[in-house]
Amino acid sequence: MVISRDGGSPDYGAHSMDGGEPHVQYLCAIRIGRTQGIANTMTSSMSFLGLSSSSSSTVSSPWFYDVVLSFRGEDTRNTFIAHLHHALLQNGIHTYIDEDELRRGDEISPALLQAIENSRLSIIVLSENYASSTWCLDELLNILNCKETKQQIVLPIFYHVNPSDVRNQRGSFGEALAVCVGKFNEDVKKVQRWKAALQEVANLAGYELENGNESKFIQEIVQEVSRMVNYSYLNVAKYLVGLESRVQEIDLLLCIGMNDIRMVGIFGVGGIGKTTIAKKIYNSIFSQFDVHCFLTNVRETSNKVGGLIQMQNTLLNEILKASKCFDVGNVDRGVYELKRKLCSRRVLLILDDVDKLVQLETLAGDRDWFGLGSRIIITTRDRNLLNNHKVDSKYEVKRLDHNEALELFSWHAFEEDKPIEDYVELSKQVISYAKGLPLALTVLGSDLRGQSINQWRSVLDKYKRIPSKNIQEVLCISYDGLDDNEKEIFLDIAFFFKGQHMDYVVKILDSCGSPPSNGIKRLIDKCLITITIHNTLWMHDLLQDMGKEIVRKESRKEPGVRSRLWFHEDVRYILEENAGTKNVEGIKVVLPEGNDNDMIRLSPKSFAKMKRLRFFISRGARFSGRSIDYLSNELRVLDWSNCPLQSLPSNFRGEKLIDFQLYGGRIKDISGQFKKTTYASP
């Protein structure tokens, strides 16, 4: 049996004929969430158009059935269909079969219509007498309509009939349609639709059985169907207000039916809905591609040491499906391998939250990396980045209009599509401050949910003191409603623990004397953080930026007086000038891109004044200086890559350390000094 493509359709399947060994063009589903660990299952409270939850979480399929079978009962019900149906069920494929053998009336049963609309894939078994049933022909019209409107997959099986006879209406198909012409002489258009439908389905990739082994034939079909339906869908927002119209506008730019290679950029302010739109598009069209990948949180990942190589390796390993992990070792080799592996494949690649050109150059450098029919979608906050990469089309996501914003806010504040009567005017005041930004609408709606009118008025009085253009200050109102302990937990997560495992964070925060469980639950309830499917803590970029702005305001001019430090130059200043104070509780320093030669010069007194330092995390920053006189014994996390020290201070006991990581530095064999640490470098 030879399995080949027939008719050039983008639908997946195979047209099989006797002779030769089977060859199937199978699908390769790339699931980044499995390796990145940032899937999101608790976004119901943060579900809205625009919440970039930095998640590639998978959820159950939106289809009720995996497969619906369309067939001519008198030809195949008790033979081929019975065996195929049994094989599908045995392989865990949820299949609908119409059990009504004696049909009456002129319309398809509502149950069958609903099954067709709610199935991921339709298998059409075209047998000798298929076209003699107007029921079957009407089913075919409904199936092809769902293929067009719902992006469903259609797999035809030519059961002892020739695809050419179906396409050109010869033999039994021609005879049956000739009868229809006479019977429906007053409805010529309907007959024409049936003819067009038969021609369309005959042009799709499918299976043909003439005189082959029927058991092996069914096995091949079931294997292919399993590959088609067993995909994980990305979690999209719970409340899809304003989403459909924006998705449709981008669909026009994608031109999925064309056989070119096309790059489309989606851009807009943070929290506007770029990620949500991209997920919805991905779920709708991924089945039409050989390889598909939603690569989330590109910006964050690429900022990690080796982050670009990590993403290249992820793509290659998922594509190759090799038993041994592929490691490109360096970015240049990764570019070469990606181009070599993808150039013959029809690829759907979504790069979410891109902020630098180098990310595009190393993950989707040019169109000749990809096979014909490929689509690359890029989401970013930077329009100029898309211009520099010369994308084919750009789409700016606009803020929600007043009615959309009011509906979205109402869902989160009242769990209804419009405000409760007594709250209409107050709701409109909230809408005017949020300025159509979905993230702000969701956070504020969740914050006000269940509150009295007087409490609403009190909160709105706060809104009036905040400039309407400053979205971060709008978001800060939710922060203001936290108690002191909850605020500290929020800031620690924003600065140091976004993306970290829940158990790890709880253990560290608990050691700081702040029982975190209730505080974390409160942050989740107020939509300030989420817990992913992999039990990691996550936070939207705007909320993280809000936390950093809150700390910056502790002292605008003197960073050494702030509680937490992250900006590279501020860290340099306090360490080189010995400008730290007892206020500093945490430092996280990341090497800026393009500053490979940048060096922070330590002196023996660099840490001397920071008596309450709990966290020191360095990601790729470079230091000079071989010794320091002091490190705080309050440290819970000492995570220092490329540590220049030859030894730790003699007065540093490290009794409160939970995470101790020194790698790429000069200190050897000291982890034994800190046996109580939960996480220690080897």
Does the pLDDT value for residue 23 go beyond 60?
no
Order of strands across the sheet with 262-267?
28-30, 291-295, 347-354, 375-380, 262-267, 393-396
The predicted structure's pLDDT at residue 50 = 40
Quick check: 155 and 13 in contact, CB under 8 A? yes
Does the pLDDT value for residue 292 go beyond 70?
yes
Domain-embedded: residue 614: yes
The predicted structure's pLDDT at residue 141 = 93
- The pLDDT of 341-364, averaged and rounded, is 92
CATH number of the domain to which 105 belongs: 3.40.50.10140
Domain-embedded: residue 70: yes
CA distance 375 to 395: 15
Does the pLDDT value for residue 106 go beyond 60?
no
Same domain membership, residue 82 and residue 150 = yes
Domain C-terminal end among 229, 246, 268? 229
Domain C-terminal end among 376, 396, 416? 396
Does the pLDDT value for residue 674 go beyond 70?
no
Quick check: 267 and 377 in contact, CB under 8 A? no
Same domain membership, residue 652 and residue 517 = no
pLDDT in tens, 624-639: 888 899 999 999 999 9
The predicted structure's pLDDT at residue 409 = 94
The predicted structure's pLDDT at residue 672 = 55
The predicted structure's pLDDT at residue 61 = 54
Domain-embedded: residue 318: yes
The predicted structure's pLDDT at residue 658 = 93
| pLDDT range class, residue 394, cuts 50, 70, 90 | very high
The predicted structure's pLDDT at residue 517 = 85
The predicted structure's pLDDT at residue 21 = 29
CB count, 10 Å around CB of 18? 12
Percent of the chain with pLDDT strictly greater than 90? 39
Domain-embedded: residue 492: yes
Same domain membership, residue 639 and residue 595 = yes
Does the pLDDT value for residue 389 go beyond 70?
yes
Domain-embedded: residue 54: no
The predicted structure's pLDDT at residue 59 = 46
Same domain membership, residue 410 and residue 374 = no
Asked which of 110-114, 177-181, 536-540 is least confident by mean pLDDT, the reply is: 177-181
Same domain membership, residue 560 and residue 539 = no
Percent of the chain with pLDDT strictly greater than 70? 82
Same domain membership, residue 309 and residue 454 = no
The predicted structure's pLDDT at residue 522 = 83
Does the pLDDT value for residue 676 go beyond 60?
no
Same domain membership, residue 194 and residue 75 = yes
CA distance 91 to 465: 62
Which residue's structure tokens are 């930026």? 545
The predicted structure's pLDDT at residue 27 = 27
CATH number of the domain to which 499 belongs: 1.10.10
The predicted structure's pLDDT at residue 186 = 61
In the chain, how long is the greatest CA-to-CA distance? Answer: 101
CA distance 340 to 357: 21
Active site residues per annotation = 139
CATH number of the domain to which 388 belongs: 3.40.50.300
- The pLDDT of 90-94, averaged and rounded, is 82
Same domain membership, residue 137 and residue 85 = yes
Asked which of 222-226, 454-458, 543-547, 666-670 is least confident by mean pLDDT, the reply is: 666-670
pLDDT in tens, 466-514: 443 346 755 676 788 788 999 999 999 999 999 999 999 999 999 988 7
Classify residue 400 by burial, with Cβ atoms within 10 Å: 0-12, 13-18, 19+: buried
CA distance 509 to 496: 11
Domain-embedded: residue 475: no
Same domain membership, residue 309 and residue 169 = no
Quick check: 33 and 536 in contact, CB under 8 A? no
| pLDDT range class, residue 604, cuts 50, 70, 90 | very high
User: Which one of 71-80, 141-150, 357-366 scores highest in mean pLDDT?
Assistant: 357-366
3-state secondary structure of 294: strand
- The pLDDT of 155-164, averaged and rounded, is 92
- The pLDDT of 595-620, averaged and rounded, is 89
**Does 45 or 180 have the greater pLDDT score?**
180
| pLDDT range class, residue 8, cuts 50, 70, 90 | very low
Mean per-residue pLDDT over the chain, rounded: 81
Domain-embedded: residue 173: yes
Q: Which domain holds residue 591?
A: 554-680
The whole-model pTM stands at 0.54
The predicted structure's pLDDT at residue 673 = 61
Domain count, the chain: 5
Same domain membership, residue 562 and residue 541 = no
Helix boundaries (H) for 327-401: 331-342, 357-363, 383-389
**Hey, which residues does 589 pair with through a beta bridge?**
618
Q: Of all residues in the chain, what percent are helix, strand and coil, respectively (each to 5)? A: 45, 15, 40
Does the pLDDT value for residue 54 go beyond 70?
no
CA distance 579 to 607: 9
- What are 415's two structure tokens? 């769990």
Same domain membership, residue 565 and residue 612 = yes
Domain-embedded: residue 391: yes
Domain C-terminal end among 340, 366, 396? 396
Same domain membership, residue 371 and residue 246 = yes
